Structure 1
């Protein structure tokens, strides 16, 4: 930065009242007289840009106050670099500068999964402690060593170290050496997936329980219509009733199933 902090208070007498100057005039004045007082006024006038852009990154795993500070610093960078002679608005110039600083901060400090702040802080301390103990002990520190140094439990250290794995996402194409085998194993092969049979068993049990609430005729309608795929007319012929009666019974059966489903969800 070219900001000079050696300006004397007497220099301010040469600066006209800030309220009487437009943004462009203020930037031109700052170009000629890079006094921190002028820059502070520019920051004050345009701080809303940093606030608006900061709010776009709410609930992304980093506290708003931290993002706002980074955005404010980006605003100062933009003020220092802005040139009125280029002809564009300051907001158009400042926005990408501020967003760039925020994104850089996320790359350096962000967590791909939201982790409690206490664990994040402990994780940072553990990384520093490892290096310190490595030099003091002349060996790789154990969990017990780290816990004693930080005055916390071994479980807390393990929790923080495991959480540190989500600091950056891992690629599914990441490969591991599969000892004893000719082919390496990929990370995606180690990730479990839902067993389709679970849904099948749950649905089957639900149907059996719901069918216990039906009478014999309703069970026949359910079996023929939804398992045998018979038409309403075919079912009506079997039961020697009208098609309208079968249609009404279907609606009644569906309502009973809905009631049973609500019970299981409560």
Structure 2
């Protein structure tokens, strides 16, 4: 018997997978996709700006999600998040390989990118602030367009960093997000850590989830997010802090920091 959509919303994810395994009900499949589509969104955004548009990557990630749902064997006792993330990442990497992109960056851009990175470091020390595009262009005696081209080109082959900080509301210091969630391995495939991240993301409300994704995956500023949501920067800061506290509580409860 096919369940209605409202009824499916109240059923545990594991139970839904068990039912889907038995009857392949498309309504259940749709519900499972809706519950986990945010994983496809996060991973597509993580690999965006590397030569392929986000919309294309989201389609690939969504197909990977559907593939994972259809292939997942709930009887093996693993969490779905342990299976879906590497499946989606695998499909995205395969898409990059098939397109032949990612590492095909002209040598002149690679060389300019190295010069830009060196200039950033030297100028930051000399100016005691983050250098502007103009500062770097003047230092290297090149045009601003060349600097921008090098920075954008570097995104194609340089991995995104998790070494992002946010301002603590309790004191004047900045807190690195890795201090809260630990260090991911190179392939983002440590099962225990992925399960925890997935579990916490499911506990966040839509606003908290949006702020976390935009702050730590899209690397947007609090002011930018506040403007897009039509709320104050202070509100964004409070939402971010509350969401990060949920990560901290869950990770400390599971003893992640003791295992690092």
TM range (shorter): 0.3 to 0.5
If asked which structure has higher relative contact order (CA below 8 Å, sep 6+), I would say 2
Per the normalisation by structure 1, the TM-score is 0.38
- Which structure is larger by alpha-carbon Rg, 1 or 2? 1
